[in-house]
């Protein structure tokens, strides 16, 4: 799979190659992509309907007219923002037809894009980027006294259920996840509080819900996320471009990847954070 795709110089890759080299690995490695519903789109803005009031049902005698009642909707607009990564490689590597060489270049770009995406997802706001989960009017389970058992997780699950949502993932920082992993069921026991996931060796669960790790979650915080009400919007125009112009004198080429991504939280109360209350 050579990087050269035109006789006149270095061009772009085919769309299916870009998907295999950039899009699929990012979707696989990014925690944000793993814990949300991914919506691929060709439009500049995606709109999510928000039901603010359900239609009223009523007991009705047989044969009588059913009284109509309209649903009331609001709308959430999500506009994907561009995230880009640039790496510089030698012309020899760029011209190498060995797939391994191409994968090495792609892996570095994927790591860079994944880091930026996950950092933005768990942030409140990101300069020139999308709003993250920290910006939501989410519910809170106060754990300022520390976590010693699974009760705070059960409370988070219950809070989501009270607003019609189901928690599908917990996400914590590596430091917080390690502290949880060291907890035991009871004093004097060697049995860990966290359960293993039989389908994924090394993975952890809390009350049957997967616990994932991201370095971009604030230490001490744990996000309880419902996949059905949390979206990653991905534009279908991911690009991988290669140019030798700026680096002609050093016999190198620039490899640039761009993606357009944003996050949508149409039901923010379905998201729950375990942690200390905000100072504000």
pTM, whole model, 2 decimals?
0.81
d(Cα 54, Cα 171) in Å, to the nearest integer? 31
Percent of the chain whose pLDDT exceeds 70: 78
pLDDT tens digits, 95-131: 655 556 566 667 788 889 999 999 999 999 999 999 9
Q: Is residue 179 predicted with pLDDT exceeding 70?
A: yes
User: Which of 10-14, 17-21, 260-264 comes out lowest in average pLDDT?
Assistant: 10-14
Averaged pLDDT for residues 217-234? 96
Which of these, 46, 275, 7, lies nearest to 143 by C-alpha position? 275
Nearest Cα neighbor of 134 from 203, 38, 48, 230 is 230
Q: What is the pLDDT of residues 148-157, one digit of tens each?
A: 889 999 999 9
- Provide mean pLDDT across the span 12-29: 71
Which residues contact residue 95 at a Cβ distance below 8 angstroms, ignoring those fewer than 6 apart?
A: 2, 3, 4
Q: Does 1 have pLDDT greater than 60? A: no
Within 21-120, strands assigned E span 37-41, 46-53, 72-78, 81-90
Out of 79-88, 98-107, 227-236, 246-255, the most confident range is 227-236
Its CATH class, for the domain covering 15-52+72-265, is alpha beta
Which of residues 58 and 280 earns the better pLDDT score? 58
Rounded distance between C-alpha atoms, residue 120 and residue 84, angstroms: 13
Three-state SS for 242? Answer: strand
């Amino acid at each position: 799979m050579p990087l050269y795709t035109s006789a006149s110089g270095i061009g772009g890759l085919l769309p299916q190659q870009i998907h295999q080299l950039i899009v699929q690995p990012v979707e696989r490695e990014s925690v944000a992509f793993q814990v949300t519903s991914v919506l691929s789109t060709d439009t500049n803005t995606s709109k999510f309907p928000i039901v603010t009031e359900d239609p009223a049902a009523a007991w009705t005698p047989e044969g009588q007219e059913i009284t109509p009642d309209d649903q009331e909707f609001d709308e959430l607009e999500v506009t994907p923002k561009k995230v880009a990564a640039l790496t510089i490689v030698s012309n020899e590597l760029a011209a190498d037809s060995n797939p391994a060489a191409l994968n090495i270049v792609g892996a570095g770009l994927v790591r860079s894009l994944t880091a930026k995406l996950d950092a933005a997802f768990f942030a409140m706001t990101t300069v020139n980027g999308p709003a993250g989960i920290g910006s939501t009017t989410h519910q809170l389970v106060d754990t300022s006294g520390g976590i010693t058992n699974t009760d705070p997780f059960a409370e988070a699950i219950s809070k989501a259920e009270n607003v019609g949502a189901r928690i599908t993932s917990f996400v914590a920082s590596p430091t917080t996840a390690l502290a949880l992993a060291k907890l035991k069921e009871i004093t004097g026991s060697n049995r860990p509080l966290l359960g293993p996931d039989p389908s994924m060796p090394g993975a952890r669960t809390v009350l049957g819900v997967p616990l994932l790790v991201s370095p971009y979650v604030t230490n001490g915080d744990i996000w309880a996320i419902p996949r059905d009400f949390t979206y990653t919007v991905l534009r279908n125009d991911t690009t991988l471009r290669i140019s030798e112009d700026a680096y002609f004198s050093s016999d190198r080429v620039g490899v640039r990847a761009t993606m357009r991504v944003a996050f949508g939280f149409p039901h923010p109360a379905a998201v729950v954070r375990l942690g200390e209350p905000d100072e504000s």
